[in-house]
A and B are shown apart, each in its own frame.
Chain A
């Protein structure tokens, strides 16, 4: 038996003359989708697998398919003769361009066997001369194939072909089976004492040549164990012991790489602390020197851990390189990405790969000293410059907890001091994060599709009008009304809302007064410093209040004043929530504060036209009737419409009052959406939200904050239902917009998170002054799309809040927020 070991995710190139049995071999050892044959591709482009004139196009297709599969990390087998050097070269280059390994499997059969096999196949009408030529090519190739760039060339002859067994080799970087927990440790640079202190503070039991953790944790070193510091041999001894004992993993740093070359007698420039290592190692026994060199030489570029969810590399690694193997992958992992430019110190200018990182795997690295570790798109640098007098830092995984110990002294002077924090990137968002047709995965509503045209409309609104995306952590979902009421004179009534929730198995709901203003999201930070640290907003602002489309409420100085006053009024929340920031769902009053242009342009205009025209109409009709003309019920109807127009005017005017500065502006919060570490919108019942908010005790006439009146209803109590309906009637008859009915506890599945029940007079603003004359027509309204939209947007909103609470990167929070705005542009009946 011959074992053919091929790379688990690489390229396998079959080589053999026509009739050598490649397809049979491929079919026996690989899945049909893994094998791409030139015959198949020839058929695809010409309907004839033997049409040699189609060969160039066929290979274009073949290379495209193979390249796509390799990019996606799939094992791929090419079934073509590949007896010529240039055919193989193209495939090897393809593998390289996707940073995967390529193996060749040569099926070397006798020429006459191949000729005989072809003779019995009617579709192969080419003569034996073709086989002979291919054989010659193959003979010439065999001796040289090892230089083609394959990792291995497996040559199978005679019975070996039938007896061969294909096995797969995992990549060296693949440690996905290790699930931790891990303690990932930043650049040590010979600081043995600090390392021991750090390990002990992490709970490790440390000896001279090893360390174990009582809970079985595994240490992962990000490289650069050596150079500059006082005890490189001590660090190596400790780490080598841990790695040998299986309690640690270590990836190579650029300093190990260079030290190995120096130890190997290669000519390198002795700088950047290499001298210290060489001197210290020279004082060690020769055997240790040998072992240390072998250890460092054997370090690999990066590891994929915990099912691929964690990647450790010395200088970080972009997603396309995770688990890949090539020179450039290793160079990236050891030296990082550079722009190719150098700065005034002659040092390379880094390319900010982490800002573009969009992978789901956490990437942990070192290499570049930073004053403090900082998450950038789920990546983090742990090099806090221990050897330069900073600190030595570890990241506990999966806890995401940082532990560091200060350096005992400055062991080595940096070429220049470790600078200010790396500048945050205000444009951390990329067009690819939002544009085009997208699918957003949500925890509470599955995968949600965003159509391209909706994303395009949202992009325009977002980029022309919205607040800084760092503040834009949530947009409220739309809300559906209940099933249409059949009660005389009503389009909406609480009874349907209660029935709907009762049917869905909800036992307790809360009815909240629906303030008629503009929906507002308030993001408030305790201080501008919190805003900078938690939201990455560095312009000195400490919050934002924005509309349903993400626009700031006021474009002037009032915004800062509003935020400052709100921060003062919500002060009790900081302790209650144990958080330095909070996101509130609110209604900003009056409606006219934001919507005055709309009210004047649309509502008041309609009212003005009605008030001008209807009295004249009544007058001419009265005159006609007085003359004895039969105007039918037109006069009566026109009088009624005059009355409707007056009610319509009263309906909108009730929500308008003059505002001067912030005088007259009020903000009514009704839910605490999120705070540090908690998406409270998901985790807490509405009773909790309303209770906590009621403790803010707004003072009428003084506070900006306004209370949200509410009643709780047990749906199995007819009495409580009736009471709530009375409450709603009083509210709406007094000019209120209506109420929102929500299940008290967070619900899942298809249950609406809330429905709005609007009052009879308020609906004149929605359906027109005379809607009460057309109830029969208006009752034919269809709620399906609106309700589906409400559920999808709700799921996206909760997803955004959860991502925010969990500290996910900006683009991850922005994605569902943008999606809500995009969905809101879907043409659903806006009156619902």
Chain B
């Protein structure tokens, strides 16, 4: 297959050479490069997505050029500042990207027809201080709870909808004694924030109301709704496996996929892992504090794509982005990478059942991104890092209260963030 493509392009090149490059139909295609941190997506792009695009636009060739996730920010920053970098750059959400926009890395996308498929909230993660769009939203991830339906059936449990029911379910599993209630550990602090507090917390701080309140300086992390959220998270502690302090992300997932634990608080990106052993698995959304309360769900904008301001092929790059904004790409991508969700307002069907279940959780829920990544982490100490650290301290030590965590978070934030300084 590949060798055939090589020989076709070789023939095309030779044809161009012999015809003196005049044949318009055989003009050299423009090649544009796309930088991304998703090294694991190489096959998806090369075998599925790019051929679909190139079939429609034979004059443009796109090369997928991923960089190691851990080195992505540094690599992009030094490449662009050195006048290099791909024509298309995958954008981190919020603060990192806002700084990149400020430094002039991106071409503005205003006027790109495909942008209209996305509402303002979806674009927010990648707009500049001038409110203009610089990256096209590509995919978001959700957070929720995977549960082992067979264990639930065996113990006669119902999917919980309120915090009290959630604790009752955990209590019942613990009392039965055969299964670990929560497959959760605190060795990797990021997931205490992303799959724990930022998942169940929005129901307490009312999603965007609380998040934007912190950004405006109208609310503080020491306000009761935030302390209550941290306390609701701390209430998980008695239901974690023994030695949870040392359990990392792989351990937790394994505990769940081996059928030894009933519930796994995790992100949608882990769908393939969670279902890898063929268990009968369902998902439920974060519980609400009281029956009848508004439901909230964490929808985290994960990646966008922008155009390098120094690219020499901006038109080709725009053509590509316009295609990325359309339903064809969206369906290809979310089905090739289950756990990622389209952000476009056009409906998308998910072939993976669990992915569809996750998408259904969005119905009737208010969506909100991770609490601390927008503006609140653009200084030192970043609120997000501090949240990771302090939640880990709370989960590994017995004498740290939710109130203390909130106070220390607030002190750190107020030390540099203008609207919180008073």
Q: Do these two chains interact?
A: no
Q: Point out residues on B near A: beta carbons under 8 Å.
A: none
